[in-house]
Amino acid sequence: MFDLTGRVALITGAASGIGAATARVYAEAGADVALAWYPPDGHDVEPVREAVERAGRRVVVEAVDVTKTDDVNRLVDRAVTELGGLHIVVANAGIARKVALADLDDEAWNLVIDVDLNGAWRVFRAAIPHMQAAGYGRLIATSSVAGTVSAWPEHSHYAAAKGALVGLVKSLAVEFAADGITANAVAPGVIRTPQALDPVNSLGPEGVDAVVAKIPAGRVGVPEDIAYVYQFLASAEASYVNGQLLVVDGARSLAGLD
């Protein structure tokens, strides 16, 4: 079940957290993987490359700024040329910046929107023609509970971008369904990733630990909790799941946020 043998996947934000876990899970499921990473973030992509290779799969790695169309197109072209096609895209690159609305100027707003929303649009746009040629495509966006089922004060630009991803995948789902392409978004809850553990722009370690009491599952998520959902969405078995937002938060959003 959920075998990805013969598929080529491209993952942005692949050097850490959900992206890194997804690369490992995809490789173990049989996919070759193109990894996009952003060196200024400070995460090392080499362990992810090594994990893909240990699974016996081919891998290409490219430094990519998802706000730059040329960077995105270059990696898509490498995936097609060096790995033989492109069937799955996980638009996972994202940033969070804590800014009160009174201090949220155009530059700060536009940066988060350009990375978190426009970055997904750029990579989907570049990948779709190759998916149409293959007759198989899986577009997967990392959204968030923030902006979809809950609020995140002092992160209005982040919530706006993550909410807008849902509109993007719904429209793409209808537009390209006849080509064998699905488009879905996943809204992770609190996942123990470098972004969530950032004490400046996100919850920080103490904040992450404090959330546990509010989660019916009794724990915060780990990146693999999302990666295995992405494996399902990438598979042939998920061909009838299209245009959806899947909330993966241990039922926290159902239990209230007080």
Q: Find tokens 């173990």 and name the residue.
A: 28
Q: Is residue 173 part of a domain?
A: yes
Q: Is residue 111 part of a domain?
A: yes
CATH number at residue 110: 3.40.50.720
Q: Is 254 left (phi over 0), alpha (psi -120 to 50) or beta?
A: alpha
Q: Is residue 198 part of a domain?
A: no
Domain range for 60 is: 8-192+223-247
Tokens of 125: 């746009």
Q: Is residue 199 part of a domain?
A: no
What span, in angstroms and rounded, lies between the C-alpha atoms of 131 and 181?
Answer: 7
Q: Find tokens 């940066």 and name the residue.
A: 111
Q: Is residue 206 part of a domain?
A: no
Nearest to 36, CA basis, from 144, 119, 110, 137 = 119
pLDDT at 160 over 70: yes
Catalytic one of 158, 228, 230, 240: 158
pTM flag (> 0.75)? yes
Q: How many domains is the chain partitioned into structurally?
A: 1
pLDDT at position 257 is 52
**pLDDT tens column, 94-152:** 999 999 999 999 999 999 999 999 999 999 999 999 999 999 999 999 999 999 999 99
Q: Is residue 22 part of a domain?
A: yes
Sheet arrangement for strand 245-248: 59-63, 32-37, 8-11, 88-91, 137-142, 181-188, 245-248
Q: How many CA atoms lie within 13 A of 162 on its CB side?
A: 28
Q: Is residue 159 part of a domain?
A: yes
Mean pLDDT for 22-26 is 98
**pLDDT tens column, 163-220:** 999 999 999 999 999 999 999 999 999 999 999 999 999 999 999 999 999 999 999 9
Q: Is residue 204 part of a domain?
A: no
Nearest to 185, CA basis, from 239, 233, 145, 245 = 245
**pLDDT tens column, 112-127:** 999 999 999 999 999 9
pLDDT at position 1 is 87
Q: Is 230 a catalytic residue?
A: no
